[in-house]
A = this chain, B = another copy of it.
Amino acid sequence: MNLKSPREQEYIQQLSIDCVIFGYEDEQLKVLIPKLDFTGDFWALPAGFIQQEEDIDEAARRILAERTGLADIYLEQFRVFGTAKRSNKTFMERLVALNPTKLDDWGLDLNTLGWLTRRFVSIGYYALVDIHKVNLQKGNIDASIQWYPIRELPSLIMDHEEMIHIALDTLRLNLDQKLIAYNLLPETFTIKEVQELYEAIYERPFARNNFQKKILDQQVLERLEKKFTGAANKAPYVYRWKRY
C-alpha cells in the first residue's frame, strides 16, 4: 500500500491487489513480508492499487517488482477477497492513533486518505521466485522487509494471514498439474533437492523411490552431463527444467 502517494483518481476505487510471494531456502518455504514504518508492529503483505490504464496482472507485476527487483516473475491469481465488512478502517485508525504526527509529517491526514478506509475488494496473487535472485527492496512506507518461514509468520494486519494460507492451499493443488515448482529453484538441481522442496511445501515426507519415479515420469526434467573430474564420480545427477 503506497500511503505516500495516495492519488485517488489514478486508481480503480475500492479494488486492491495483495501479493503472497513464496521463496524456498534452507529447506523451508518462506513468504516475503514487509514491516510498515509505523509504531505498532504492523506487518502487511505487499499490496497496491490498479491504475486506470493498467491491466490487473501488470499492477501485480509492478507491486512485485517494487519489493523484489524482479521484472519477470511467475504469478497467478488465487482468490478474490470481498466480504462486505472488509476494509482498512480499523487498521488505519489504530495506525493513526499510535502515530499521531507521522501523516502530518507527510502532509497527509485521514480525510485525504478517506478513500483508503472504504470497503475494499482485493485480488490475491501468489508469486514464486528463486529467492537467490531477489534483490530485497523496502517500499516507501516499509521499515524492513524479510523472508519468514511459513510456520513462523509474524502477526499480520486484516485478513492477510488467511490470504497466505489460501495461497498455500492453492499452490499445493496446482503444483503437479501446472509444473510450476521450478520457479522456486535455482537453474540446476538434484532430484533430492526437488524432493526437499516438495516436502517443504506439503509439510510431509515423500518416499524417495516413488518420488523420483513420479518426477522423472513427468518428463519435464533434462539431465545434464556429469563433468569429468578425474576423481571417482559419486556426485548425484544434476537436472534442469525443460524449456518449452
Q: Give A contacts to B, CB under 8 Å.
A: 12-15, 50, 52-58, 77, 79-80, 82-84, 119, 121, 123, 173, 177
**Partner of A82 from B13, B56, B82 at Cβ < 8 Å:** B56
Chain B positions within 8 Å of A50 at CB level: 82, 121
Tell me which residues across on chain B come within 8 A of A121, comparing CB atoms.
Answer: 12, 15, 50, 56
Beyond A12-B121, A53-B84, A80-B123, list 16 extra A-B contacts (CB 8 Å). Answer: A12-B13, A12-B15, A12-B119, A13-B14, A14-B15, A15-B15, A50-B121, A52-B84, A55-B83, A55-B84, A56-B80, A56-B121, A57-B82, A58-B84, A77-B80, A82-B123
- Cα separation A84 to B12 with both chains bound (whole Å): 11
Of residues A50, A119, A121, which shows the largest number of chain B Cβ atoms within 10 Å of its Cβ? A121
Nearest-CB distance from A116 to chain B (Å)? Answer: 15
Q: Which residues of B contact A84 (CB under 8 A)?
A: 52-55, 58
Q: How far is the CB of A26 from chain B (nearest CB, A)?
A: 30
Which partner residue on chain B sits nearest A123 by CB separation? B80
Complex CA–CA separation, A52 to B56 (angstroms): 22
Interchain CA distance A50-B55 in the complex, whole Å: 21
Residues of B within 8 A of A56 (CB): 80, 82-83, 121
Q: Looking across the interface, which residue of chain B has its beta carbon closest to that of A177?
A: B173
- Nearest-Cβ distance from residue A176 to partner chain B, whole angstroms: 11
Please, which residue of chain B has its CB at the minimum distance from the CB of A178?
B173
A-B contact pairs, 19 of them (CB 8 A): A12-B14, A12-B15, A12-B119, A12-B121, A13-B13, A13-B14, A14-B15, A15-B15, A50-B82, A52-B84, A52-B119, A54-B84, A55-B83, A55-B84, A56-B83, A56-B121, A77-B79, A77-B80, A173-B177
